[in-house]
Amino acid sequence: MSEQQVMPGPKAVTLLKEIANWEWVTTIILHGGSVFEFKGPFPEGSLGEGFYNIEGDMPGFHGHININQIAHIRFQDKAHRGRESYAFVFETAVDEAVFKVFLGRDKQGELITSQVTRFKQLQAEYTGQKEDE
């Protein structure tokens, strides 16, 4: 994978802590041919014993991310079902998706503007593109 299209893995914790302040997102985990989704705030977490431990309210989304396995975070910027869509794809060194965090949508189904703006800022910073491209 071209390093021009990704954020380095060591930035994962910083990004996850930022996303925890974005309110509504969709987290997707692909495993064994199944797709698991969680829609809502991505919980705050902390590092411990090589894992980023997400510790949201109960009931809610919890888990442990093997942070050392995140080699890079790919910027996914492509339409989904004919609608604009953006996601951070947390991947291993062999480009296998561990999980994805999609930008959130409001009650009318429109992307949350502040999240799109920040996504494009980060994408421009790490890919060398201008924000308007």
Contacts 24+ apart (CB under 8 A), 107-110: 109/83
Q: Is residue 66 part of a domain?
A: yes
Q: Which domain holds residue 47?
A: 3-126
**Cα-flanking dihedrals φ and ψ of residue 125, to 5°?**
-60, -40
Q: Is residue 77 part of a domain?
A: yes
Q: Indicate which CATH number applies to the domain containing 117.
A: 3.40.1570.10
The pTM (predicted TM-score) of the whole model is 0.89
Give the tens place of pLDDT for each residue, 88-125: 999 999 999 999 999 999 999 999 999 999 999 999 99
For residue 118, count CB atoms less than 10 angstroms from its CB and return exposed for 0-12, middle for 13-18, buried for 19 or more.
middle
Q: Is residue 133 part of a domain?
A: no
Q: Is residue 131 part of a domain?
A: no
Give the tens place of pLDDT for each residue, 54-71: 987 888 888 999 999 999
The answer to whether the beta carbons of residues 105 and 86 sit under 8 Å apart is: no
pLDDT band at 2 (very low <50, low <70, confident <90, very high): very low
